[in-house]
Amino acid sequence: MTPFGRRVRELREKRGITLARMAAGLGVTPAYLSALEHGKRGRPTFSLIQGVIHQLGVIWDEADELVRLADLSHPRVTVDTAGLEAEATLFANRLAREIAALDLADLRRLGAVLDEAAARRDRPA
């Protein structure tokens, strides 16, 4: 499941909207919407994201969150380490091979490391 798919499903169920009803409103099949929610389809198009926002009746922060999650929800990621240190290539390959063995706590710890690195990068010099 992707972050976008999980959030759409949570919001849809919270609002009592069936998969079939939402799919019809978006002009897609229920099978496609289910596959999108479960991460078996690639990142949604901008127009589909806007349709989801409209169907769910979300505004402001929730809409921004869905756009951000959609951007981070491609289920088949490519990591380009060309020009980086050898350790970056090693890490990317190890992560690709071992990600299925990581539990939620492991993933959150790795995410925290990435958040710290991003904060250092974004600090003014």
> Quick one: pLDDT band at residue 42, thresholds 50, 70, 90?
confident
pLDDT bucket at 45, cuts 50 / 70 / 90: very high
Residue 60 sits in the same domain as residue 111: no
Residue 79 in domain? no
- pTM of the entire predicted model: 0.73
Q: State residue 77's pLDDT score.
A: 85
Domain of residue 51, residue span: 3-71
Find, among 97, 104, 42, the residue nearest to 70 by Cα: 42
Q: State the total domains in the chain.
A: 2
76 pLDDT above the threshold of 90: no
- State pLDDT tens for residues 81-108: 999 999 999 999 999 999 999 999 999 9
Spatial contact of 42 and 74, defined as CB atoms under 8 Å apart = yes
pLDDT at 74: 85
